Amino acid sequence: MGHKSSKQLTTSHKILMFGSNSSSKSLFIKHCHLIYKGEFTTEYAIKIKPFILKSLCNAIKEIIQFIKTSNKALYGSTISKTAWFTLKKACSDNVKLCLQMTKHICDLWNDNEFKKGYLHLLDESKRDNQVYLLDNITRIISDNFLPTHEDIMKFKMHSSGSFDTVFEVDDCTYTFVDVGGQRHDRKKWLDHFDDVSVILFFVGLDEYDHPADNDKFDNKMKENLHLFEDIVNNSYFTKSSVVLLVNKDHFKNKLSTSPLSNHFPEYNGKESPEGFLINQFRNRDHHHENRRLFIHTHESDDTAKTQDLFQYVTRMMVKS
């Protein structure tokens, strides 16, 4: 690239991101990183390592809690039986990734009877993450563990604060602000974002039967709808474009075993399940006459498609 003028360097946009940990939000940022920054560096891997270890500890803690509260022992061998009753006596409040603990976890995890019973009851939003971590537990607890490219791409970080990711593309600087765990606590972030160019709201259609974080809501989708309505109609963002990014992964496959009408009784089948849920979000925009809401459906497993999505977002900034 040639020399940039000071005027060019001042061109910047702030993008505010919302979405649950099970949405495609974090994967979108990782794909953007690969496209515009290149491969993940050793420094990046070192930075994310503590989060992977903490999530593995939480996965082990949930297994121990599951064993302690289970009315039926789940094991299919003598080895896994020993592991079951040893972990039943363990304290889940202070899990440490020691060799003895992880051996018992591995013995249970390699038992098909236990794994089938445990995964059947595990919150679907946590399933992929826990399966990946537990499948790789021996490697992750090794002294020389450094997250690989696959680890970084597969790992879903459950954030408890806000995080900034900056990309420089052509003559513009794009700062993506992930509100993360503070998305429901507006007092912590609202005053800082009066200069937002675009709001990205990520939602996975398959969240329609996921349990909500807040007991006030029947399911995760209804919780998302409430948050979206709050955000899209907020006076702070009246001049910001809003892009609803709808992820379709797993959605069609689960409808046969978990009908949409079981979780949205008002659904009568007159429109497609996908169209119904998208319209639920569209109807939450009380200022639709401003035409600032853009809806884009996508799947999350293609880096090339992410580049198209990034360019789609930048076009929204031109319109905002």
Q: What CATH code is carried by the domain that includes residue 110?
A: 1.10.400.10
196, part of any domain: yes
3-state helix, strand, coil in the chain (%, to 5): 50, 15, 35
Contact between 78 and 165 (Cβ < 8 Å): no
| DSSP secondary structure of 199-259 | EEEEEEGGGGGSPPSSTTSSSHHHHHHHHHHHHHT-GGGTTSEEEEEEE-TTHHHHHTTS-
The listed range with the strongest mean pLDDT (7-11, 73-77, 211-215) is: 73-77
Kindly report, residue by residue over 41-65, the tens digit of the pLDDT. 999 999 999 999 999 999 999 999 9
pLDDT, greater one: 141 or 193: 141
- Side-chain-side CA neighbours of 118 within 13 Å: the count stands at 27
In a 10 Å sphere around its CB, with 0-12 CB exposed, 13-18 middle and 19+ buried, how is residue 268 labelled?
Answer: exposed
**Vertex 290, ends 284 and 292: CA angle to 5°?**
70
The listed range with the strongest mean pLDDT (114-118, 189-193, 239-243) is: 114-118
- Quick one: which of 276, 316, 271, 317 has its CA closest to 296? 316
Q: Which residues pair with 297 in a beta bridge?
A: 246
Q: Which residues pair with 176 in a beta bridge?
A: 15, 165
Identify the pLDDT of residue 303.
65
Residues 216 and 295 in one domain: yes
- Side-chain-side CA neighbours of 318 within 13 Å: the count stands at 6
Question: According to the 3-state scheme, what is the secondary structure of 19-83?
Answer: CCCCCCHHHHHHHHHHHHCCCCCHHHHHHHHHHHHHHHHHHHHHHHHHHHHCCCCCCCCHHHHHH
**Vertex 119, ends 116 and 125: CA angle to 5°?**
160
pTM of the model: 0.81
Band (5; pLDDT cuts 50, 70, 90): very low
pLDDT, greater one: 179 or 134: 134
Residues 97 and 135 in one domain: yes
Identify the pLDDT of residue 158.
64
247, part of any domain: yes
Residues 48 and 148 in one domain: yes
Residues 183 and 303 in one domain: yes
232, part of any domain: yes
Q: Domain ends where: 96, 126, 153?
A: 153
111, part of any domain: yes
Kindly report, residue by residue over 248-305, the tens digit of the pLDDT. 888 888 999 999 999 999 999 999 999 999 999 999 998 877 778 889 888 766 666 7
Mean pLDDT, residues 196-200: 88
Distance in angstroms (rounded) separating the CA atoms of residues 218 and 222: 7
Residues 168 and 312 in one domain: yes
10, part of any domain: yes
Residues 307 and 213 in one domain: yes
Identify the pLDDT of residue 316.
67
Q: Domain ends where: 125, 153, 181?
A: 153
Q: Domain ends where: 153, 169, 200?
A: 153
Identify the pLDDT of residue 141.
93
Q: Which residue has the tokens 């599951």?
A: 66
Distance in angstroms (rounded) separating the CA atoms of residues 239 and 262: 37
Identify the pLDDT of residue 139.
95
Residues 180 and 120 in one domain: no
Residues of the domain holding 135: 44-153
Distance in angstroms (rounded) separating the CA atoms of residues 296 and 312: 9
Residues 149 and 176 in one domain: no
Look over the chain and give the mean of its residue pLDDT values, rounded to a whole number: 85
Residues 201 and 82 in one domain: no
Identify the pLDDT of residue 77.
95
CB neighbours of residue 183 within 10 Å = 22
224, part of any domain: yes
Number of structural domains found in the chain: 2
Residues 6+ apart with CB under 8 A from 79: 107, 111
81, part of any domain: yes
308, part of any domain: yes
